[in-house]
Structures are given as structure tokens and as C-alpha cells.
Structure 1
């Protein structure tokens, strides 16, 4: 038996499979590493993969049992804003999602598909993962972190100590940076702090309750007490700062497949009185379907990604304010309360006799998915920690950076999403119940995120980066805090840490221009040939003829061009400058807009031969939080030099034609 175990162990090592990845490794293989990453979120996995592929010995520490954070925890409808913002391994992740579903890339997916891909990243890079260990102390020497002290996530057993040259905090809570003595903020800054306009207290109409809802258990009787979920606070002046947080929730995965369902039964600690406010809300609105209370988004294979909608839904408003700085016991209480509330809400909508019959019948068609979260009773392993601590670094990203009024030159990632905050409080305003804190302000293009925003001040810690709880105001963080952006910044942080080790420098003293060049020249960290992107506004590679107007919303990158047939013949010619001849998969970005041509003509010249194609609008399907998709134009062997081109024109069009970006992907790219 002892010999058999040795044979199995040798086979596992030979195939690159880490025992910890399969069975929940709880003790590190070594006491010291080059780079230690805390938090097995999507960002943590990408940081670990990056550092390992760049030749460093890496330890990834995950307090739970599952990798991927929200990306494998139910957030399958990717919040992105503009695909132009996503690069490197983050884009590789969505390409791998696409490969799973038989597409080029895809931004909607099932939780287990994401988890399997994250597991594959750590397997391919031979990353050591330490599961079920959480941070209890950080040992420093001067401005350097020397050692982390960990305990098992159950609190049992002896403590574990891990040292490293560099550390990366990829947790949603920012526990490592806080215990290392890094400055941080919790809550909302006042507008006056950074001369913003959308920070602090905001009473807006988004995800708001209808007028006239009585807040008391017995309507009109203050002595009966407030309904559950309403605070007794007073509404402060607009723009006032406080320590309140935007609400947390679970992004719920359910299944409509009767053969893949676990019934939604009455949960532990079920309290139907918690949902009285929902009934009062819907008494003032038409309740036609589940979509009137939930954002009920479809995922592949009959599943969902359910999010908060309107005034009373899955967000547990005002119940998370203590979470960022709470101890592990209190955090567990808050987490479990969110679980009880959410499962209770699903059961209530499907079973309470006060809910309309047709709504209960609609809910009865759904169940928890048998094939998801198998080790967690088919319920997500990750609460949506939309915001916890936020570092205060050498540079703080603000509303002005989001809107392009201030622009950094040391960008190591790009964001593009609307400045978005869920509600932070629910209170009485003029005798009626109102939600406060929701902000949804967009209308701006992609913008760079400063390297200085992911590292602490040099006076605090020199060997740490923080790509998730980065340095940003509440409202700027609302734009940046997207899973793909976290992955981009994590790759940048890991690459910077490797550079710092090799140059024997602090994280604050590395050459950022060299870092930017490394990220651009080796985006997949495997030496593969970078893809070639030609955006419509690239004046060096794009030749514009005729009359085109500029549109700024719904395309790829900052803008796209539109040509009307009435304006005469117009064309846009993309001419890549290729150093070597080679095979490429060719794509063009196709924004899905109203009143556009039923077909778009595309001419492709590979340097030797001309090909004429037509993109039929009816055949382009758009999935997810974007308004366009990459359309595959075929595989071509392009000749070195500038003889090759792709030309989009309005020739023969019956309505507006759109010209946006063109992408050449080397066929050996995005492969191991």
C-alpha cells in the first residue's frame, strides 16, 4: 500500500497536478517564496499564473475552498463597459470561455466553466495553492513585509507562517494591506474631498421605491415600529461623506432544466416578515413577471445570473456596513445573514400566498442547479463584496479620471464601466421609504488606471501591490471594480513584482515604462506573438475616404465611424504593418445598432489576392453587457509589409454602415 501511494504521488508530480488543487492543500510546501498572493479571486489566479510563468516561485493563498471569486461565484454576465479595456490574460480568460462554448470569445458563462478555467491556469503554471488559510497577522521589518501568519479557516490547528520577497493582496476585503499598515478608506468620501459631484450621499431614482410606501409595520402607526430593512437614520445633505457601503448580494445561479434542479425549499431562519416591503412595493407597480423584481439574465444551458432590480430585491441594503473591518466571526454572521435573506426571498416569491399566482408559478419552474457549487450545497461560494476597504496610495483615482478630465501617463490597465454604486441605505424621507446611494453615471470612454493606484505609498510598504482594493474614491471605484479589470491589474501587479525582484528594487521604484512595454510585448506571458489591433481612429494605419460621422457609445474603443448611403460612397481602409508574413484569424468588431444596413461589404487583400465578403446583420448575435461582437472574416496568410488591407465600405448599403476595429490574431496565439 505504501509503495502504491508513492507511485500515485510520483504520477501526480510528473503530470504537474498539485495535490492541493484537487484535495484542498492546507499546508505550504515551503516556508519561503518569491511572490506570495493572498486571495484566490480571479485577480489572484491571474497574478499567480503570471508570476509563475515569468519564472518565480509562487504561493497563492485562498481562505476558502474555491478559486475565481465572483467570476466563478455566479457573476456570469460580465460587467465590462467596453471590450477595448480588457487585455492580456483577462482577455485570454474570456477567449477560453468562448472556446468552451464554441465561439471566439464569450462574456456570459456558467460558474463551473469559469472555475474549471481558473483551475486550469494554476495547473498549467504549476502554481502551489494553499486553501482554507486566512490571514491573522503580518510581520514587517521597516517598510518590508517579511512574513504572513495564517490560521486554518475553521480556527483549528496550528498557525502557518509564510515569507516572501514580494506580496500581492488580491482579496476583496484588503486584509493584507490593512494588517501591513497601509492607509485605506471605508465608505464614501464627501464630494468636497476631491471636488467630485457623484460621491457621498445621493438620493436618486435608480433602483428606487415608488412614492407613497408607508414605512411602519402597521401603516400610519409609528409606534408599531419600522418594517424590516429600513434604518432609523436621517437623510444627510447631498454629497456628504460617511462610512456606509453599497449593498452586497449574491449573483444567483438557478436552473430551468427539471433534470438539473434541486428544489427551492424553505431555508433555515426563514422570516417572511422580511419581505413585507416587497409586497408594498409591488402593490404600487405591475407585477407581470420575475423581471419586475429581479434582473433575471439567462446563462448557457438554461441557467441564470440573477441580480438586484428596483427598490426591493436581492441587495441587502444597509446590512454590510461593518463587514470590511469586522473580525472573521462577525463577517461570517453577515455572510450567513445574506444567505438566509436571499434564499428566503426566492422561497417567499415562489410560495407565499400573497404573491400573485402567475409569479409563484413562474418561480416554481426554477431550482438550484445540481451541477453547480456541488461542494457547497449548490449555493455560491462567494458573496458579492462590491466594495470594502480601498487603499489610499500615492495617487487616488477619482471621478475626474473616469470622465477624462484628468489623465495619467503611467497606466497599467484600462477601465470603461459607468460610475456605478448600488444603494447604501434605506430610510424614511418625508414620511415614505426611500433608498439612498444608487449612482449610474456614464457617458465616457475607456481611461487608464495609474500604476501608483495599485501600490502603497513608499513610506508605508515597499514590497506590496493591491490590484483589487486599489486606491480610488468610492465613486471612481464604482467604475473600476469589474472582474476583468481586476484581472488586468493583477497581471500588471505580478509583472511589476517580478521586475522588482530581478532589479532588486521596491515596487515604487521600478521602471513603469519598462513594465508597460513588457505587458504590451508579452500579453499572454508565454512568448506568443501579440495580436494586431487596428482601431478606426488609428491615423497611422487607417485611411478614411468619403463622409463618416463619429459615434462614441456602443462600439469598441473610444468611438466608431458611421457612413450613410445618402452621403455618397465612403470607405475605411485598415492597413497593418507586418514585419513577417504569417497566418492570422481576421475579425472585425460589429456594433449592433438600430437602423443599420442589412449587410456590410468588406474587402480583404492578403497582399496577393482580393476577397470580397458581406456581413449580414441578421446573423450577428450579441451576448452579455456589450452592444457588439467580433465577427470572424476568415483565416488568411498576410504578406509582410503594408500590401495587405481590410476595407469596409457603404457600397450597395441600404442604411447606415459602421466601421470600427479590425483584429488580426496569429493562429498560434492564445494557446499553451
Structure 2
């Protein structure tokens, strides 16, 4: 064996490093100069559903490209929603369960507990223990831990991901003979595939492809439902005004005008439909660890008058501010809306689904300003009860989350946008077990859940919220394959695992992150079978689809006993 002097050995190593760097640079440069790409399956989106859809394609031996408008992958699962809406965990299988297993493995490492000892964390989850040692799953987690799992999926499967690529919604989708041939992004890149999957929260590819969809609430009469349309007078959760609060600038004086964020419009009649959406917010990750906490700061365009209604809520005796500071590891939270005036920005998102990208950015920025301003208001305004304010100021944004976005979540919670209208529509009847579901491709189990949609003035002159619904589901329900596929006359090679064909209130249960992961995997499975047979997605033989899904550990019917 030839012995080289240390200096010579170092020089050889440096040459190798320069050589590798040059090769990498050449590869990157070539990719950047390309504008036309092709794969068996094109997945549009950066959500949790998009990742599972792409991983499933690789595992089934197909080429796949993820075209993501987002820089960060995972959507809400890595964007602050760490207190998982599990529902019944026994119906979460496949890649979704693998995700939560990987979260479990992450928190088995001592190095993952930087700000808190593992034994100090507790084990609180939503309907299930946070850490399930028997099943080796963990359902509660920090945002950066979730994002790392999604990036591990990308790395291990050598997924080709194009980030910050936005669909040209005006002319970017090309169709021939009822099929999408290609989609083009605003950067001029063209992606060609045999099958396409729209895994966005907004349903942009679906809409651009000419597929039917609905925005807002259907009237109850459309599908014979009870909980879908306008729900004036229905107050299911604690997110309403429990005592009489005046909506006017001068209490009791209508001529003084309404306070900000209260609509002067008639809310409509119970059971009617409208084009309004349940409120959006950011699922903030907060911490009370002094060494990791950034105090709430005053945002640009801060306007304290926007929060006058909250002062009146406190004055009426409300003290539930901290009820949804749900704990995640390392002395952090997934902080969600709670109460009559909170982080939900009611009534400010109605035009979001159909809006241009520029308008959507404005809406998102307005939500960010509102929510950051709300935090600053509670932290500093002298009218906030002293004891509440003192405790609140022990909280702040964590230094080690969302580090490239000012420690603020990179994903707004798009609870609902477009929903496909196909030949098969999931309604409250299927979710409540009143109608059987054919051709199951996954299961849901969460409450029929809608956040508030309007804040209005009642006939008696006091303010109230409307649209907050929570109807308990007795048993897990199946989700039919027909809800993932468009009408055959509209598109034969597109699957939609997020903006599924469902009514507003059925989507209120389906719209949970574990379900989106499940449906992303199932959508790709169907796409692969359609490719192999050379057929439309509407013609996939369900028995073959079912066999593959069960092979891949998807749960398609209620287990005989808890897992």
C-alpha cells in the first residue's frame, strides 16, 4: 500500500471535492436550463397528500415528478398543525401511519428533546395518547420534525421535486381527447405525464383542467342534509358569544356604526346555501421556554381598533384564552382558534379559492397582519385583564421553528376552498353511516367540523357568529373511490385526493391531514393501475385497486378490533 505524505493526501482530497462539486454544479445547471420534463405521473402540490402520492408512485415502480408551488413540503402537517386531528387512529394506515411511525422514531432519540425532558412532556393527544408505544406511533409533534420526515421521504425515494413552481392557471393546462397532456408553470416549465394528481388545498389544477367544482355551502335541499347550509342559531362549540355583546362603536347605538370585523349583511336563512367559506388562520407554534422564546412584536399596519370586540368579550367575563394552547414536545404548542374572537379571521377569505395569485398573497398577508396584531394587542393593550396578559407574555414564537420565515408558519390553514363535483359526492349521509359507501379507498372518522363563517348582528342588536358546526360521528366511515375522480366526460387521467367530491359539511370531516395522506396514496395506486391497463381512471377495476391498497396496508373498512 502506497503511503502518501499528509500534505499530498490533503491535496488529493481537495481535488476530489472540487471534482464532485463541479459535477454537481453541471447537473444543477443543466436541470435549470431545461424547460420540458416528463414522467409517468405528475403530482401538483406540496401538501402531505402530494408527498404520499409521489412516494407511492416510486414504490409501485413508476416515474414521478412533484411540481410544488411551495418551498416547504407537508402543508399544514409541517406548517404548525402538530396536534393531529386523528379521529380514530385504527383507520389510519399505509404511508400515513408510516409518517406517524417515523415521528415516533424521531422522538425516541434523546437529541430530539432539547428544551424539555421527555418524561416532562406528558402524553396528551387529540382523542388518543400523543405517544403510542404499543403501535410505535406518535401523533403530536413540532413543525420542523414533521418537515424532516417529509424531506426524508423525498431523499430516500429520490423524488424529483420542483419547488416554487406555480401552475399557469390561465393557459397552462393542455388537454387532448379528454386527457391532460401537459401542464405549464409560470416559469415556463412544461410537465408531461400519463396521469396527473392535484394534491393542492385549492384545487387549481382541477379547475384549470375544466373539472366541475363548488365553492361555499350547498343548501341542505341539494343533498337532503341537515348540517350543510347556513346554520343561523346553531351554536355547537364554544366559539360563539355566550353573553350579549354590542357590535356598535358606541355600545347600544346603531348610528355609531359597526366595530371592525362584523358584517352588516343579513346572514341568510337557515338551510340555504351561500358562497362563503369557513375561516382561515395560521396554526401558530408558540413556546414558553425563556431561552427559545421571541416576544410578540408589533406588525406593520398594526391597528388596535381591529380588536375592540375582544376587549368586550373579556369585559363580559370570558377567560378561555389558553384553552387551545395544545402542547407539543419541547415546551411548544399548536395554538388554534378558540372562543368568539380569536385567531380565525372570520369573513376575510371568501374570494380566496378563485382569486389570482396576487390577490391570494394579499389575503394571506392580511391574515398574517391580523393574527400577529392580535398577539401584540393581547400582549400590550392596557385593557386586557392583567392576569391574562401576564401569563400571555410568558409565550412567544420559538426561535427554532420556521427559521426562514420570521418564525411564522409558512402555510395558512386553507380549511376549505374548491371541492370537486363528480358523479359521486360524499355527503353527511355517508359520513354519519346513514348510506353505505361503495369502493372504499380509505377511511375518515373525525367530527363533522366547520369553523365559523360569518359574524353578524342579530335582530336583537347583539353580535353573533355563524357556521361553527361539530357533529359527532359514531363510527369510522369509508371514502368512495368516486370522490377522487372527475366525471369521465371532463377528464380521464386526473385524480383529486384533497379537494375531493363532497359537500361542505362532509368535507368538514374528510379535510384532516391523516386522511389527505391516505387519499394521496390511494389516488396514485389507482393512477398506476390505469397506466398499466391503458385505461381511464374511471375504468379502473376496483377489486384490483382494493387488493393493492390492502397489500400496502391501507385500511378500507372498520377493523374488527382496535389496532
Give distance in 1, aligned partners of 2:15 and 2:180. 41
Cα distance in 2, alignment partners of residues 173 and 384 from structure 1: 11
Say yes or no: does 1:66 pair with 2:95: no
1:264-295 per-residue CA deviation (whole Å, 9 max, x = no partner) reads 111111111111111111211243x632xx51
| SS of equivalent to 2:550 | helix
Work out whether 1:7 is the aligned partner of 2:36. no
Counterpart position of 2:387 = 358
- Equivalent position of 1:393 in the other structure: 422
2:138 to 80, 103, 106: 106
Q: Could you tell me how far 1:219 is from its partner in structure 2?
A: 1.5
Q: Match for residue 290 of structure 1?
A: 321
**Superposed displacement of residue 523, structure 1:** 3.0
Measure the CA separation in 2 of the matches of 1:476 and 1:534.
19
Q: SS state of the match for residue 308, structure 1?
A: coil
Q: Which runs of 5+ in 2 are unaligned?
A: 1-13, 109-132
Q: What residue in structure 1 maps to residue 122 of structure 2?
A: none
For structure 1, the 5+ residue unaligned runs are 153-158, 525-530, 539-659, 664-672
Higher relative contact order (CA 8 A, sep 6+): 2
Q: 8 Å contact 2:212–2:422 — kept in the other structure?
A: yes
Q: Tell me, in whole angstroms, the C-alpha distance in 1 between the residues paired with 2:40 and 2:488.
A: 20
Alignment of 1:161-172 (within 5 A): 161-172=190-201
Counterpart contact for 2:36–2:189, Cα < 8 Å: no
CA contact (8 A) 1:253 1:305 kept: yes
Q: Hey, what does 1:84 align to over in structure 2?
A: 90
Preserved CA contact (<8 Å) 1:80 1:484:
yes
Partners of 2:350 and 2:552 lie apart in 1 by 41
- After superposition, the C-alpha distances for 1:468-510 in whole angstroms (9 at most, x for unaligned) are 0000000000011000000000000011111111111111111
Contact 2:36 2:190 in 1 (8 A): no
Contact 2:216 2:277 in 1 (8 A): yes
Question: Which structure 2 residues correspond to residues 426-441 of structure 1 after superposition, within 5 A?
Answer: 426-430=455-459, 431-441=461-471
Conserved in 2, the CA contact under 8 Å of 1:68 and 1:115? yes
Any idea what the Cα deviations from partners look like across 1:633-664, whole Å, max 9, x if unmatched? xxxxxxxxxxxxxxxxxxxxxxxxxxx53x5x
Equivalent of 1:53, from 47, 53, 59?
Answer: 59
Residue 403 of structure 2, aligned match among 374, 379, 387? 374
Per-residue deviation, 1:9: 6.2
Query: SS at the partner of 2:515?
Result: helix
Greater CA drift, 458-467 or 401-410: 401-410
Matching residue within 458, 467, 482 for 2:497: 467
Q: C-alpha displacement at 1:366, in angstroms?
A: 1.4
8 Å contact 2:448–2:509 — kept in the other structure?
Answer: yes
Q: Any conservation in 2 of the 1:393–1:457 contact (CA below 8 Å)? A: yes
Quote the offset at 1:212 in angstroms. Answer: 1.7
TM-score, scaled to structure 1: 0.74
Is contact 2:215–2:275 with CA below 8 Å preserved after alignment?
A: yes
The structure 2 residue matched to 1:117, chosen from 127, 149, 152, is: 149
Shift of 1:87: 0.8
Q: Indicate which of 510, 526, 533 corresponds to 1:503.
A: 533
- Further displaced range: 113-122 or 196-205: 196-205
Q: Mark the structure with the bigger radius of gyration.
A: 1
Deviations 1:360-389 (A, max 9, x none): 111111121111111111110000000000
Aligned length: 515
1:446 matched to 2:466? The reply is no
Alignment of 1:504-543 (within 5 A): 504-523=534-553, 538=560
- The 3-state SS of whatever aligns with 2:360 is helix
For residues 58-107 of structure 1, the C-alpha deviation after alignment (integer angstroms, 9 at most, x for no partner) is 11011121000000000001112111221100011011111111251111
Alpha-carbon distance in 1 for matches of 2:53, 2:141: 22
For residues 79 and 260 of structure 1, the distance between their equivalents in structure 2, rounded to whole angstroms, comes to: 26
- Residue among 478, 487, 490 paired with 2:520: 490
Residues 218 and 467 from structure 1, CA distance in 2 versus in 1: closer, same or farther, beyond 3 angstroms?
same
Aligned-residue Cα RMSD (Å) equals 2.1
Give 1:23-42 correspondences, 5 Å limit: 31-42=37-48
Q: Which has the higher strand share?
A: 1
- The alpha-carbon distance between structure 1 residues 518 and 484, as it changes in their structure 2 partners (threshold 3 A), is same
C-alpha separation in 2, matches of 1:70 and 1:488? 15
Aligned to 2:72, the other structure's residue is in SS state coil
| Superposed CA offset, 1:567-612 (max 9, x none) | xxxxxxxxxxxxxxxxxxxxxxxxxxxxxxxxxxxxxxxxxxxxxx
In structure 1, the partner of 2:227 is 198
